[in-house]
Amino acid sequence: MTGGSKPAQLEVRGVTKAFPGCLANDDISFRIEPGEIHALLGENGAGKSTLVKIIYGVLQADQGDLLWEGKPVTIHSPHDAREMGVGLVFQHFSLFETMTVLENIALAMNDVRDMAALRQQVIEVEKTYGLPLDPDRHVYTLSVGERQRIEIVRCLLQNPKLLILDEPTSVLTPQEVEKLFETLRRLADEGCAILYISHKLHEVKALCQKATVLRGGKVVGGCDPREETAKSMAEMMIGQKLTAPDRSGTRKFGDVRLDISDLSLISDEQFGTDLKGIGLKVRGGEIMGVAGVAGNGQNELFQALAGETEIIGTPDCIKIDGDPVAHFGPRRRRRLGAAFVPEERNGHGAVPDMSLSENGFLTAFRRMALSARGLIREVPTRSFADKIIKTFDVRTTGASAEAGSLSGGNLQKFIVGREILQDPGVLVISQPTWGVDAGAASAIHQALLDLAAKGTAVLVISQDLDEIFAICDQVVVMSEGKMSAPRPMADVSVEEIGLLMGGLHDLDGDVTLKTKELIEGDRVGQA
Amino acid sequence: MVRLEPRRQHSQAMVYLSPVLAILMTLFVGGIIFSFMGKNPFDALYTFFILPINNSYGISELFVKATPLVIIAIGLSMGFRANVWNIGAEGQLTMGAIFGGGLALYFYDSESMFLLPAMFVLGAIGGAFWGGIPALLRTRFNANEILTSLMLTYVATLFLSFLVHGPWRNPEGFNFPESRPFPDAGLLPVIYDGTRVHLGTAFAVLVVIAGWILLSKSVIGFQLRVVGKAPQAARHVGFRQKRMVWFTLLLGGALSGLAGLFEVAGPIGQLQPAISPGYGFTAIIVAFLGRLHPLGILFGGLIMALTYLGGELAQITLGLPNAVTGLFQGILLFFLLACDVLTKYRVRFGTPAAKGEAA
Amino acid sequence: MDWLIPLILTVITASTPLLLASTGELITEKSGVLNLGVEGMMLVGAISGFAVTATSGSAILGILAAIIAGMLMSLIFAFLTLTLMANQVATGLALTIFGVGFSALVGSGFVGFAIEPLPGLHIPLLTDIPLVGEILFGQDFLVYLSIVMVIAVGFFLSRTRGGLILKAVGDSHHSAHAIGYSVIKIRYMATMFGGAMAGLAGAYLSLSYTPMWAENMTAGRGWIALALVVFATWRPGRLLAGAYMFGLISVLQLHAQSAGVHVPSQFMSMLPYLATVIVLVIISSDRAKIRLNAPACIGQAFRPAQ
């Protein structure tokens, strides 16, 4: 490879980048050839995003060089990067909700051209690559998949020589993923180099020809994903042998503890999804998974269950241990033994500027009797926080540390621990291991399994199908505010869940036939 | 090259140090301004900040001026903690004075010992009423309380002007725009002979203690802080933002109203068109100077009271315009806000670690 | 008809400072910055303009001084909130408190000074047209400037790439940063434009509206300008209408009194403030509309994430 006839499209040489208190990139080197699909693998916090930002000119490396087509380059800004021919599809989209597709594309173009010409170009690129988009639609009316299409189209318009995709599939259905891959393969055939960042190893195996693995900011290895197993790559990423969660012991399900029936709700969010006739029963001891692409009503469902949204008029549509609670606020639901963990840790599940002590008090003061006569009881409050820290192995300087000073995994352990120690009858948890390192993730999974084993009804809302397959007993899928019928984990496949995520609501009867029809229909639609 | 580097944890030392730093910087800039105005900066600063309190009467006057500032600032700080920006305390103060003072004028020949307590109650109600309007408009109609509470201040001031020019003008008062003097039963007793330190000052101390318990020890205070720092977390656990809007605006209004009543039933003794030299606005600075903490506010109130006394003295002895006080207050608030950054960030010199846009 | 033309003339002069200040604040807010210090910037603009005009004898120099003074004030605000990430609400209040004190201090030497008010245009023939001539062609140039500026801002926001970028920064600073726009720099510029316009509004007050200096002569107009931006739901066209509506309300009292309406003057003086509250209530209660039009990042500090 080295000194070959043709220089690499991009070569990264000894790139180092330090932030206060952490070395995000430590002497990273690798190269991408033209037309190659190259995976950058690593856990959260391995330094992938920092590296991408350096290549895209958002950050500058402290040390090291970038070589573009063999020549050293300095990339001062995204503008420079785009000028060179680097395109980036962001993990968290860089879109403007109240603007149109065309305006969004125009904002990310370097050279100002007139809008009519740009519109023409957009339509051409869409046709060429089969990425239909209406240039005049406002972004807030689009699905997540369509939003990603905007990002891709606006990269393609610049005729990129290197396209970077940062975790592009976390928001897509398996079928959408397949479509994306087709586009990427085609681009690679045309000679575009692709840097594909992911932690989803099945996908990397299916798509990429080379992989560079990062851990703790360092390159720990490279491989050809086609010759590896997902397990072997995962172990490279994590640096240790994988242990599956312990699901031993026979699971016995008790009475229905969380009963949702015909729950409908108009979203009060600006760009929200309405809930339509949701029905679901979760028994004691059972872990129910709610799968689905983000933005299909999961947030609204969580808010309705947690009492952030109160439903006046139909108290019966949510019952906790038989008590109608839909008209109650969060505090009364918690008093009945329910507990909730939202997706966002900072500012939703915890107050970053407050101490862990105070964050423990936040949801537990009633159930754990941490207040008396309207005043905070200091000693029990502190010891409750200490107990969470100890039981769930939260790495911190102590109960008076601010929640915001903890790493994502440790804060998540604290939040989950806070709810579990309150001994809930029903636990609703959203994205339990989102952005959490593997160690913390497996600890959290184990804690949820243990909690269910004690008779709690657990509802896990997750976009991560691997997670749902790892811990759930049954699964339902949300799509456009509707919910499918529950299916036991044992007899459902990833493909079926994928179809449900894409909007098919009834999988009874001849599944295979319907699947076939749908896929065929899809092909027709594309042509 | 100077840059800011986030701290993992707020610096406790800086929480206490930054107001001190701000005061020192204000004094420094103040000295420069004085020398620009052709005064010896040291003389001027001495006149402004030392001379007013080098005798016991001066110190007692400091307490008199600090009383309304502290009472109002405690109320406002609760709101600021919860992201409720009541900046209409001046109007609530005026309404408190009108309500409570109106009672004293209605019973202008009363000798009842119940008059004064009844004035307290009405003063608090008047202020709470005026603070309750922005609360209603915010919770019911989503109207920004910053603008509504401020607009209502203009309305209250004009209303007071109308009263003392019209129906409440003293019939025996040579047509001056002033009310009758309050009856003795409607005046606050002086608690230290030979000074103007009145019952309200003692009340201010009580408010500080109660405010401290409310904020740091009580569940309501906890709710206030959560609503302010993380509204979504508050919603998640069922701390209702609307309730906090009502609570802080009514509390802030009631305390401002009481402060206004204390002014008219204390140092002033009647209603007149101008009953406050902007206490309601200065109290905003006091709240920040005290870092929105009741004990800090006590000190902040004393310091800002000193700028009033110093301003008056500088006007008499140095011929400086009274506006210098306001200028000082504004500069102090700037420096306070600027120094606040030190609690969350470290200032570093040298090459940047991250490409900072603001650098 | 005798009363109508003077009424229209006074409405124009009462509306112009509101229009100037709120046009500036509109741009500031569109970039995601809430500067509540308009009142303070106007006051400092007013005294700077007046002092320079009174000492130099040149109104043009005075107006330039007012613009520069307003920009310097907004620069203090921008430094505190954008560079040091101080709370925007508190800093805006500080700016107003500072502006009141500073202008009073500088102005104490200018109380009672008299200057020539800004001359109105006089275009032969046009200005002499009966009835409409003076209204359309006889104003001083700041009046025309205020209208030109609001139209220019409308064009800028809806038709230019610069306007698109400004809106993008106000809508999502993280996205704008990610695709390579300098959020802080753009916000600095937007804030300084707001300061310049507020300074100009102040100069209009002290040089044209009442050609003299008085402490606190803005009398809450800066705050009303802020309310106007909400009233207009951040759209320049409605801003123009709103400013003139408020101008009308604030001069109505004078005309009502001369027309023999017997209401105490204080109640008439309350009208603009009460109208502001009422208008805010009416506009704000349409939450969906506010949310769709308000810059999503307004008032939020931005620090590029690592």
Whether the CB-CB separation of A232 and A220 falls below 8 Å is answered with no
On chain A, the residues whose CB falls within 8 A of the CB of C290 are: none
Residue A342 included in any domain? no
Q: Do B4 and C226 touch (CB under 8 A)?
A: no
Residue A102 included in any domain? yes
Residue that is written with structure tokens 């503890």 in the block: A257
B310: Cβ contacts below 8 Å, ≥ 6 apart: B47, B48, B49, B51, B52, B325
How much of chain C exceeds pLDDT 90, in percent? Answer: 55
Q: Are residues B111 and B156 in the same domain?
A: yes
Q: Are residues B296 and B325 in the same domain?
A: no
Q: Are residues B119 and B166 in the same domain?
A: yes
Note the pLDDT of residue A121.
87
More confident residue, B12 or A56: A56
Q: What is the pLDDT of residues A160-170, one digit of tens each?
A: 899 999 888 77
Q: Which of A520, A468, A460, A514 is nearest to A494 (CA)?
A: A468
Q: Are residues B17 and B95 in the same domain?
A: no
Domain with residue B215: its CATH number is 1.10.3470
A193 touches chain B (CB under 8 A): no
Give mean pLDDT, residues B343-352: 70
Q: Which of A442, A434, A447 is nearest to A244 (CA)?
A: A442
Alpha carbons A406 and A350: distance in angstroms, whole number: 11
Domain with residue A225: its CATH number is 3.40.50.300
Q: What is the pLDDT of residues A325-372, one digit of tens each?
A: 999 999 999 999 999 999 988 889 999 989 999 999 999 998 898 998
B230: Cβ contacts below 8 Å, ≥ 6 apart: A347, A348, A350, A351, A352, A353
Q: Are residues B340 and B201 in the same domain?
A: no
Lowest mean pLDDT among A1-10, A516-525, B130-139, C22-31: A516-525
Mark which of A389, A406, A423 sits at the end of a domain. Answer: A423
Note the pLDDT of residue A18.
86
Note the pLDDT of residue C167.
94
User: Which residue range is the domain that position B1 belongs to?
Assistant: 1-39+320-359
Nearest chain C CA: its distance from B237 CA (Å): 24
Note the pLDDT of residue B326.
85
Q: Are residues B76 and B169 in the same domain?
A: yes
Give mean pLDDT, residues B141-160: 93
Lowest mean pLDDT among A112-116, A285-289, B108-112, C192-196: A112-116
Alpha carbons B261 and B257: distance in angstroms, whole number: 6
* DSSP 8-state assignment for residue B168: T
Residue B253 included in any domain? yes
Whether the CB-CB separation of B153 and B283 falls below 8 Å is answered with no
Give mean pLDDT, residues A83-95: 84
Q: Do C306 and A19 touch (CB under 8 A)?
A: yes
C57 touches chain B (CB under 8 A): no
Lowest mean pLDDT among A39-53, A325-339, A451-465, C7-21: A39-53
The token pair that represents A15 in the structure block: 């790139």
Mark which of A205, A238, A271 sits at the end of a domain. Answer: A238
Give mean pLDDT, residues C270-279: 90
Q: Which of B104, B92, B60 is nearest to B196 (CA)?
A: B60
Q: Are residues A311 and A382 in the same domain?
A: no
Note the pLDDT of residue A113.
66
Interface residues of chain C, partner chain A, Cβ below 8 Å: 161, 164-165, 167-168, 171-172, 174-181, 288, 291-292, 296, 304, 306
Residue A25 included in any domain? yes
Q: Are residues B208 and B327 in the same domain?
A: no
C273 touches chain B (CB under 8 A): yes
Whether the CB-CB separation of A41 and A29 falls below 8 Å is answered with no
Is the pLDDT at A510 greater than 70, yes or no? no
Alpha carbons B144 and C211: distance in angstroms, whole number: 33
Q: Do C102 and B141 touch (CB under 8 A)?
A: no
Q: Are residues B237 and B98 in the same domain?
A: yes
Residue A266 included in any domain? yes
Confidence band, pLDDT 50/70/90 cuts, at residue B354: very low
Helix intervals (H) in A157-217: 174-189, 201-207
Alpha carbons A400 and C281: distance in angstroms, whole number: 43
User: Which residue range is the domain that position A366 belongs to?
Assistant: 347-423
Mean predicted lDDT score pLDDT of chain A = 85
Candidate from C178, C296, C304 with C-beta closest to A94: C178
Residue A4 included in any domain? no
* Number of separate domains in chain B: 2
Alpha carbons B198 and B66: distance in angstroms, whole number: 12
Residues 280-309 of B with CB under 8 A from C: 281, 284-285, 288
C4: number of Cβ within 10 Å: 10
Residue B177 included in any domain? yes
Note the pLDDT of residue A112.
63
Q: Which of C152, C10, C169 is nearest to C82 (CA)?
A: C169
Q: What is the pLDDT of residues C70-85, one digit of tens each?
A: 999 999 999 999 999 8
* Number of separate domains in chain A: 3
C3: number of Cβ within 10 Å: 10
Alpha carbons A477 and A486: distance in angstroms, whole number: 8
Q: Are residues A146 and A224 in the same domain?
A: yes
Alpha carbons B17 and B6: distance in angstroms, whole number: 18
ipTM: 0.87
Nearest chain A CA: its distance from B244 CA (Å): 16
The token pair that represents A403 in the structure block: 């929640």
The token pair that represents B313 in the structure block: 């003295």
Confidence band, pLDDT 50/70/90 cuts, at residue C2: low
Angle at A473 between CA A471 and CA A477, to 5 degrees: 95
C90 touches chain B (CB under 8 A): yes
Q: Which of B171-175, C56-60, C119-123 ranks highest by mean pLDDT?
A: C56-60
Alpha carbons C92 and C87: distance in angstroms, whole number: 9
Alpha carbons A24 and B125: distance in angstroms, whole number: 58
On chain A, the residues whose CB falls within 8 A of the CB of C161 are: 106, 112
Q: Are residues B61 and B137 in the same domain?
A: yes
Residue B130 included in any domain? yes
Is the pLDDT at A521 greater than 70, yes or no? no
How much of chain A exceeds pLDDT 70, in percent? Answer: 90
Q: Are residues B31 and B64 in the same domain?
A: no
B144: number of Cβ within 10 Å: 19
B148 touches chain C (CB under 8 A): yes
A77 touches chain C (CB under 8 A): yes
Chains in touch with B (3+ beta-carbon pairs under 8 Å) read A, C
Q: Which candidate in A76, A86, A94, A118 is best for mutational testing of the C interface (most C CBs within 10 A)?
A: A94
Q: Are residues A48 and A129 in the same domain?
A: yes
Nearest chain A CA: its distance from C65 CA (Å): 36
Lowest mean pLDDT among A283-292, B35-44, B62-71, C253-262: C253-262
Whether the CB-CB separation of B219 and A358 falls below 8 Å is answered with no
Residue B44 included in any domain? no
Instruction: Report the DSSP beta bridge partners of residue B3.
Output: B348
Confidence band, pLDDT 50/70/90 cuts, at residue A519: very low
Q: Are residues A277 and A314 in the same domain?
A: yes
Q: Which of B90, B72, B89 is nearest to B286 (CA)?
A: B72
A429 touches chain B (CB under 8 A): no
Q: Global pTM?
A: 0.87
On chain A, the residues whose CB falls within 8 A of the CB of B235 are: 308
Q: What is the pLDDT of residues A443-481, one digit of tens each?
A: 899 999 999 999 999 999 998 888 898 899 999 999 888
Q: Are residues A34 and A136 in the same domain?
A: yes
Note the pLDDT of residue A517.
41
Whether the CB-CB separation of C69 and C200 falls below 8 Å is answered with no
Q: Are residues B134 and B146 in the same domain?
A: yes
Alpha carbons C105 and B36: distance in angstroms, whole number: 12
Mark which of A217, A238, A259 sits at the end of a domain. Answer: A238
User: What angle, rounded to 10 degrees, do the helices at C4-30 and C141-159 form?
Assistant: 40
Is the pLDDT at A57 greater than 50, yes or no? yes
Read off the amino acid at residue B88: G
Confidence band, pLDDT 50/70/90 cuts, at residue B228: very high
The token pair that represents A344 in the structure block: 């966002």
Q: Are residues B302 and B179 in the same domain?
A: yes
Note the pLDDT of residue A513.
37
Residue B345 included in any domain? yes
Q: What is the pLDDT of residues B198-216, one digit of tens each?
A: 899 999 999 999 999 999 9
Q: Do A79 and C180 touch (CB under 8 A)?
A: yes
Q: What is the pLDDT of residues C156-185, one digit of tens each?
A: 999 899 999 999 999 999 899 988 899 999
On chain B, the residues whose CB falls within 8 A of the CB of A361 are: 222
More confident residue, A8 or C65: C65
Chains in touch with A (3+ beta-carbon pairs under 8 Å) read B, C
A78 touches chain C (CB under 8 A): yes
Residue that is written with structure tokens 């970028």 in the block: C165
